[in-house]
Structure 1
Amino acid sequence: MAFTAADVKALRESTGAGMLDCKKALQQADGNMAEAEKILKEKGLAAMAKRSDRATAEGRIVAKRDGNKIAIVEVTCETDFVSNNADFGAVAEKAAEITMAAGKSGATDEHKALIDEIAIKFRENMSVRRAEFIEVPANAAAATYVHFNNKIGSVVVIEGSDKDEVKAFANECCLHLAAYTPSYVRKEEVPQSFIDEQREIFASQMAADPKMESKPQNVKDGILQGKVTKLLDEICFVDQKFINDEKVSVEKKLEELSKTVGAKLSFAKVILFVLGK
């Protein structure tokens, strides 16, 4: 029995399954709509799309390294019951391997096929939310870290030297990222709209403070700018106080290390994945 594109669309609307899955089901059912719907239900594909708007607040972050290649992925699901399941963990590991093999960032069709299979089993909305591939250049040091709860992961690549001291610092920076979860790497990345909004908030707070009334405008302006600068220092990785030496910033620590190893060092790649953010 032949079927049309309208039949595929109708089956999708009645089941919530994907267009391609509906087409395959109709082919298998020789165009019989009722039989096709039964096939989709048996495979667990019916209503899969209807589950796609459910929140995916749980999941896992996986980082893998093979020589000069690094992959880090975030695979999401709905519940911690599933995220802690060994099968889901194996799929997250496989997702990182797929990214490594593909040699490029972003979710692929192979990722989708992998996720769709386990989503049917657990009947939860799941996805490879993000995937990054990094190729470490020559004369560079790199490190990866995934927190024990699998909800935070980081990658740091430092160009200029591959000495042991630089490798150790890259590892410390990964731990720093996981501990302080900065929103940006550098101040230049912070949207001006965010800065303007925070400036307005600080200005309103100062205006409501009686102690500010008698201060000259130039002093108020200086205090306001100081508050903005302090905030940026707190949310930007290179300007944060270094986790293992809070007397200096991360950037300053990098400069000190550059002198120690006799090479100009720079952050080539800084990646932080926080589950759901």
Structure 2
Amino acid sequence: MAAITAALVKELREKTGVGMMDCKKALAETDGDFEAAVDWLRKKGLSKAAKKADRVAAEGLVAVATDGGKGAVVEVNSETDFVARNETFQAAVAEIATLTMTAGSDVETIKAATMASGETVESGLTNLIATIGENMSLRRAATVEANPGVVSSYVHNPAADGLGAIGVLVGLKSEGDAGKLAELGRKIAMHVAAGSPAVAVAIDVDGVDAEIANKEREVFADQARQSGKPEQIIEKMVEGRMRKFYEEVVLLKQAFVMDPDNTIEQVLANASKELGTSVELTGFVRMALGEGVEKKEEDFAAEVAAATGQS
């Protein structure tokens, strides 16, 4: 039997695009014969999966999972929305979200986590690619905690329980009634999902990136100076526009979509009075499927013409 070195495993991975563990297993099964290992992987359908890795995967599912004061949301992409309706794919994505609550938000750590089947998340996705025939990838993940308290979730237009195109987590730290906190958190999560009047980027004003805030202030100042008004007036105009800016991008400053007369901050203050204890927003995440992924535009008519030899 030929020695199975790290270099040989690396070479096999580079040629086939298959994960390290599967390459090592292939070499072990073929007594270190490189070409036989390539064939072994092909027969298992794994190298077939690797060939799909360069395809754009911008569809798929966002999944949420919560357990008391912990919550996780993940995005697992596929090439078409058809796969999102596949029950095997749905079950895998839901399990990955659950594992993320323990593994944390680092994608590589999640990939190394062990699924109920005994395989890693990375191997599980590779096998799904081979079985279903589409490229898939765990794109990103996030977690929210509230201790003591609850993490609530909301999925917009769910494809299945906890699975859909937009997933939101909201953490509420409080010693109040867990059921009422969960209900309030879900309503705030629905507000975040709606993105009204704008998608929030921070919990409070201090959480807004200073560079972004300074850039907005500069733009507002330049616009105000065009009015020809005195500097002291310009300063007041800028402050007024900055308040409006924060009302749009800071969650606590936004008007609650279900009760526009109150901000989220006021809603939490009212909840604190009702529950007899403080209610604090510890964090939130809004994850929409395919955000920032450049989708390949297909010219279907041209594709058919090319396939039939027509010009």
> Could you tell me the TM-score, scaled by structure 1's length?
0.83
Partner of 1:157: 171
Q: Flag the 1:135–1:33 CA change in 2: closer, same or farther, 3 A.
A: same
Aligned residue pairs, count: 271
Amino acid of the structure 1 residue aligned with 2:2: A
- Alignment-derived partner of residue 227 in structure 1: 241
CA contact (8 A) 1:145 1:154 kept: yes
- Cα pair 2:169 2:284 within 8 Å, conserved: yes
Matched AA of 2:152: A
Unaligned runs of 5+ in 2: 115-120, 159-163, 292-311
1:240 aligns with 2:254: yes
Map 1:36-75 → 2, pairs under 5 A: 36-46=37-47, 48=49, 51-66=52-67, 70-75=71-76
Give deviations 1:26-52, integer Å, cap 9, x for gaps.
222222222111122222322655644
* Deviation of 1:204 (Å): 4.8
Q: Distance in 2 between matches of 1:83 and 1:163?
A: 32
Post-superposition CA distance 1:110-168 (Å, at most 9, x none) = 22233222122234332333445556544x34422111141111222322311655443
Pick aligned residue for 1:125 from 112, 135, 145: 135
Distance 1:214 1:92, change over 3 A: same
Q: Distance in 2 between matches of 1:170 and 1:226?
A: 30
Q: How does 1:9-88 map to 2 (within 5 A)?
A: 9-46=10-47, 48=49, 51-66=52-67, 70-88=71-89
SS at match of 1:63: strand
Match of 1:191 in 2: 209
Contact in 1 for aligned 2:200/2:249 (Cα 8 Å): yes
Q: Which moved further from structure 2: 18-27 or 196-205?
A: 196-205
SS for the counterpart of 2:47 is coil
For 2:213 and 2:143, locate their aligned partners in 1 and report how far apart those are by CA, in whole Å: 31
Shift of residue 218 of structure 1? 2.3
Matched residue, 1:148 = 157
Letter in 1 for 2:73: I
Q: 200, 215, 218: which is aligned to 2:232?
A: 218
Cα distance in 2, alignment partners of residues 185 and 50 from structure 1: 42
Q: Structure 1: how far apart are the matches of 2:216 and 2:60?
A: 32
Query: Do 1:154 and 1:271's aligned partners in 2 also have CA atoms closer than 8 Å?
Result: yes
User: How much is the aligned-residue C-alpha RMSD, in angstroms?
Assistant: 2.8
**8 Å Cα contact 2:70/2:146 also seen in 1:** yes
Amino acid at match of 1:144: S
Q: State the match for 2:187 in structure 1.
A: 172
Secondary structure of 1:46's counterpart equals helix
Deviates more, 1:122-131 or 1:256-265: 122-131
- What secondary structure is seen at the aligned counterpart in 1 of 2:281? strand
Alpha-carbon displacement from aligned partner over 1:140-199 (angstroms, at most 9, x marks no partner): 344221111411112223223116554432221111111114222222222112222333
- Bigger drift between 10-19 and 234-243 goes to 10-19
Aligned to 2:2: 2
Q: Please say if residues 221 and 235 of structure 2, whose CA atoms lie closer than 8 Å, have aligned partners that are also in contact.
A: no
Residues 192 and 38 of structure 1, relative CA distance in 2, 3 Å threshold:
same
Contact 1:154 1:178 in 2 (8 A): yes
Of 268, 283, 286, which residue of structure 2 is paired with 1:254?
Answer: 268
CA–CA distance in 1 between the matches of 2:68 and 2:211? 41
Structure 1: runs of 5+ lacking an equivalent: none
Task: Give me the TM-score of the superposition, normalised by structure 2.
Answer: 0.75
Conserved 8 A contact 2:69-2:150: no
Q: 1:205 to 1:54 in 2, by over 3 A?
A: farther
Give the letter aligned to residue 64 of structure 1: A
Find the aligned partners of 1:95 and 1:221 in 2 and give their Cα distance: 50
2-side partners of 1:12 and 1:68: how far apart? 40
Contact 2:153 2:168 in 1 (8 A): yes
Instruction: Describe how 1:95-106 pairs up with structure 2 within 5 A.
Output: 95-99=96-100, 102=102, 104-106=104-106
Equivalent pair of 2:168/2:192 in contact (CA under 8 Å): yes
Please give the alpha-carbon distance, in whole angstroms, between the structure 1 residues aligned to 2:147 and 2:96. 23
Equivalent residues of 1:184, 1:190 under 8 A apart:
yes
Native 8 Å contact 1:16 1:47 kept in 2: no
